[in-house]
Chain A
């Protein structure tokens, strides 16, 4: 059974940093391109970032470019999102998802508030 489990969310002050993790199991992680998608409370889905299986290709949404960094460790079957200079509008549930959209984690809540 494929499982994606996000962790690392929490309450952080504006301007602060947080690092999210996504632990993958039940799939050959090293061959999967991955995404982060977020959902603000009561709002729709917003794609955040993409990373190819070998980390060669990376893309970011304009709203997070220069502040967020996606990375992965295929030896640890893990995906990461380093979030710096956090803003109120970054408050959301953050999901990791495979590139085909077939598998999603349950999400981790990030709350940016003073």
Chain B
């Protein structure tokens, strides 16, 4: 299985400031035939199912605000919230779908400082 490791486990950021979450995979999730990274990011708020924010490592889902962005390739990825808003308080997960047996990072809890 591909192991996904996120850092940090939690972070507290002031409103309007930048939040950065890192995700590292135990093997590359870059598929050479199409040059796509099979990496997604999800946001989960209490009592709700996960919501997909980003796919192909950097493509925003429709309706996701442009303050949220994804970057990286191969084994190292980053989710950035450029200006934290109150509604961004949640747990964020990276996920690989390079294999049909998805694996997720352990989650990063984002709070307001």
Partners in one complex: yes
With the chains together, A47 CA to B50 CA distance in Å? 13
Using CB atoms, name the residue of chain B closest to A95. Answer: B49
Report A-chain residues with C-beta under 8 Å of the C-beta of B95: 45, 101
Report A-chain residues with C-beta under 8 Å of the C-beta of B103: 47
Asked if residues A102 and B100 are in contact (CB atoms below 8 Å), the reply is no
Asked if residues A50 and B93 are in contact (CB atoms below 8 Å), the reply is no
Q: How far, in Å, is A111 (CB) from chain B's closest CB?
A: 17
Chain B proximity mask over A97-109: 1 for CB below 8 Å, otherwise 0: 1001110111100
Report A-chain residues with C-beta under 8 Å of the C-beta of B52: 100-102
Asked if residues A44 and B93 are in contact (CB atoms below 8 Å), the reply is yes
Asked if residues B49 and A44 are in contact (CB atoms below 8 Å), the reply is no
Asked if residues A106 and B49 are in contact (CB atoms below 8 Å), the reply is yes
Asked if residues A59 and B97 are in contact (CB atoms below 8 Å), the reply is no
Question: B-contacting residues of A (Cβ < 8 Å)?
Answer: 35, 37, 44-47, 50, 57, 59, 61, 95, 97, 100-102, 104-107
Question: A-contacting residues of B (Cβ < 8 Å)?
Answer: 40, 42, 44, 48-52, 55, 61, 93, 95, 97, 100-107
